[in-house]
Amino acid sequence: MAAAKLTVAVSGINAVDNPGPGAGVARSLKEAEGLDIEVLGLAYDAMEPGIYMDWIIDRSFIMPYPSGGGEALVERLLYIKQNFGLDVVIPNLDSELPVYIKYARDLEKAGIKSFLPTRKQFQLRGKDNLPDLAKAIEVDVPETRVVSSPDRLIPCLEELQLPVMVKGTFYKAKRAYTRQEAIAHFQELANEWGYPVIIQEVVTGEELNVVGVGDGEGGHLGLVGIKKSWITSQGKIWTGMTVRHDGMLKATQDLMTHTQWRGPFELECIIGSKGQIYLIEINPRFPAWSYFSTGVGHNLAANLVRKAMGDPVDIAADYEAGKLFVRYTYELVTDLTVFQKIVTRGES
Amino acid sequence: MSKLSSLALNDEGFAFDPSTGDSFVVNETGQFILKGLTAEVPAAEIINGLVETYDIGPEEAERDLGDFCERLRSYGVI
């Protein structure tokens, strides 16, 4: 029996040097066994490469920025639903998530499903709440100070030894070796992302990550652990390999149990020289390298779609450690038609 | 499971630690020792094996085993 056709929209199709997660999610959906998925790309700029990657994205739409409050974004999704069909939406950018979480029920009522963390879960993993979460799942966290005003920065630097990590509340982390550097990074990140700014002790060790999807009931729809072995100057993975670090996978499972996590996530941690696990960050969405999990037998995006649709999910038992991920650059040449359409009509 | 017992070693001496993703390459003698350590062969037997296989004296074999174990320790394998 042929699989029913589903239409799934993915955002973050900016497959550039600092890639959004959308292209990997779209590719996973196209490769999903037993699913026939039309993939819609949700873009914020006519130059996002995903718009032109017609082998994984069937149609694309320019979206209003979520910073506008969300109503316009919801209206745009309803327009897409009405005119082209839309069963599931997978937002892949941090800045979109509060809006999609806020309007998830409204979208569901309109027939657009999603599978996202709750507002409470989203806040739990915020950088300022991470120490409490780490304590709850019995892992370490680097010494952290949440700084909400410039006058608190110097006392914090005196409490923590240099170098320190200076982190924006949503994005970006910069290492500061001197007090002057810390002040400069602090001002830059506060200007860009607002307060609080997080000041964190630098811990050394193996940087390992996990991608997965929580089932919302304390379990998961698949987990894959990796080590980033080569990263770009922007801190993005270029090559990596699958690993099976039992402590890290247990911490991930404990996180699922403790938070009843719902939806995709990326857990970043550092394994210290004595085996201690430091929780660095939890991203409440697929990472840009999520296709790696599909390549080793865990199609997490497909599992998410099945779960969102209320269909049974067949979770792969395990994955092999030592599989290699290599990103590469590629070019495509096309004519201006798609660009013209997306600029003039906002859709292609 | 100890790191040593989970270490993957192929015929060309490429060793891979599946828990951290670390990898390193060992020569023929290193493979001989690593296989022995992984199979929990007593040190005295590994030393005898080195003496018989590589035509070296027991002191040299013991020293090689010690040096090799020190290197594995620095990699966090043992």
The residue among B4 and A25 whose pLDDT is bigger is: A25
CB crowding A38-62: b at 16 or more within 10 Å, else e: bbbbbbbebebbbbbbeebbbbbbb
Tens-digit pLDDT string for chain B (78 aa)? 578 888 999 999 999 999 999 899 999 999 999 999 999 999 999 999 999 999 999 999 999 999 999 999 888 888
pLDDT band for A188, please (50, 70, 90 cuts): very high
Q: Which chain B residues are within 8 Å of A271, Cβ to Cβ? A: 20
Residue numbers of the domain that contains B54: 3-74
Nearest to A305 by CA among A87, A137, A103: A87
Percent of residues, chain A, with pLDDT higher than 90: 83
Three-state SS annotation for chain B: CCHHHHCEECCCCEEECCCCCCEEECCHHHHHHHHHHHCCCCHHHHHHHHHHHHCCCHHHHHHHHHHHHHHHHHCCCC
How far away is chain B from the Cα of A54, in angstroms, using its nearest Cα? 35
Q: DSSP assignment, residue A22?
A: H
Give the Cα separation of A323 and A40 in Å (integer). 30
Mean pLDDT computed over A321-331: 95
Residue A43: the pLDDT is 98
Q: Please give the structure tokens belonging to residue A86.
A: 């839309």
Contact (CB<8Å) A229/B16: no
Tokens of A111: 């027939």
State the Cα–Cα distance between residues A286 and A20, nearest whole angstrom.
Answer: 9
Distances (CA, A) of A334 to A5, A54, A165, B65: 28, 11, 43, 61
What gap in Å lies between CA A156 and CA A253, rounded to an integer?
A: 33
Answer whether A325's CB lies under 8 Å from A292's CB. yes
pLDDT tops 70 at residue A104: yes
CATH architecture under which domain A5-115+331-344 falls: 3-Layer(aba) Sandwich (3.40)
Whether residue A3 is predicted with pLDDT greater than 80 in this model: the reply is no
Output DSSP code: residue A3: P
Domain locations in chain A as residue ranges: 5-115+331-344, 143-201
What local confidence, expressed as pLDDT, does residue A310 receive? 96
pLDDT above 70 coverage of chain A, percent: 99
**Average pLDDT score over residue span A290-295:** 98
pLDDT reading at A2 higher than 70: no
Q: At which residue do the structure tokens 């992302």 appear?
A: A193
* Residues near A63 by beta carbon (within 8 Å), at least 6 away in sequence: A11, A42, A43, A44, A73, A76
- What is the edge-to-edge ordering of all strands in the sheet holding A144-147? A144-147, A197-201, A164-167, A173-176
pLDDT at B74: 86
Q: In what order do the strands lie in the sheet with B8-9?
A: B8-9, B14-16, B23-25
Section A23-48 average pLDDT? 97
Confidence of residue A223 (pLDDT cuts 50, 70, 90): very high
**CB pair distance less than 8 Å for A208 and B21:** yes
Phi/psi of residue A23, nearest 5 degrees: -65, -40
Cβ count within 10 A of residue A312: 6
Dihedral sign of CA atoms B10, B13, B17, B23 in order? negative
Please list every residue in chain A whose beta carbon sits closer than 8 Å to the beta carbon of residue B19: 243-246, 321
Q: A244 and B21: CB-CB below 8 Å?
A: no
User: Over the stretch A169-181, which tens digit does the pLDDT of each residue have?
Assistant: 777 788 999 999 9
pLDDT of amino acid A120: 95
Reduced to 3 states, what is the DSSP secondary structure of residue A199? strand
Residues of chain A contacting residue B8, judged by C-beta atoms under 8 Å apart: 321-322
Confidence band (pLDDT; 50, 70, 90) for A185? Answer: very high
Closest by Cα among A312, A308, A318, A207 to A267: A207
Average pLDDT over residues A269-284: 92
- Which one of A226, A246, A273 has the shortest CB-CB distance to B19? A246
pLDDT at A93: 95
The number of distinct structural domains making up chain B is 1
A69 or A241: whose pLDDT is higher? A241
Confidence of residue A273 (pLDDT cuts 50, 70, 90): confident
User: What's phi and psi for A173, nearest 5 deg?
Assistant: -140, 135
| Residue to test with chain A: of B6, B9, B20, B77, most A Cβ within 10 A | B20
Q: What is the mean pLDDT of the segment spanning A272-282?
A: 91
CA-based nearest distance A275→chain B, Å: 10
- The pLDDT-based confidence of A68 (bands split at 50, 70, 90) is confident
User: With left for phi above 0 and alpha for psi between -120 and 50, is residue A105 left, alpha or beta?
Assistant: alpha
Please classify residue A158 by burial: count the beta carbons closer than 10 Å to its beta carbon, then call 0-12 exposed, 13-18 middle and 19+ buried: exposed
Average pLDDT on A189-214 reads 92
The verdict on a CB contact (< 8 Å) between A322 and B8 is yes
Q: Do A227 and B19 touch (CB under 8 A)?
A: no
B residues 2-21 lying closer than 8 A (beta carbon) to A: 8, 16, 18-21
In degrees and rounded to multiples of 5, residue A59 shows phi and psi of -145, 155
**What is the pLDDT at residue B4?**
87
Count CB atoms within 10 A of the CB of residue B14. Answer: 13
**In the prediction, which pLDDT does B1 show?**
53
Mean pLDDT in residue range A263-283: 93
Quick check: A158 pLDDT over 80?
yes
The length of chain B in residues reads: 78
For A304-316, what is the mean pLDDT? 95
* Collapsed DSSP state (helix, strand, coil) of residue A71: helix
In the beta sheet, which residues pair with residue A10?
A41, A90
The model's pLDDT over A204-217, given as tens digits with 9 standing for 90+, comes to: 988 999 999 999 99
User: Any chain A CB within 8 A of the CB of B25?
Assistant: no
Alpha-helical (H) ranges within A148-245 are: 153-159, 179-193
Q: Higher pLDDT residue, A95 or A13?
A: A13
Q: Which CATH class is domain A143-201?
A: alpha beta
How many angstroms separate the CA of residue A247 from the nearest CA in chain B? 9
pLDDT score, position B62: 96
- Give the integer Cα–Cα distance in Å for A45 and A40: 15
- Average pLDDT estimate for A301-314: 97
Of the pLDDT bands very low, low, confident and very high (cuts 50, 70, 90), residue A1 is low
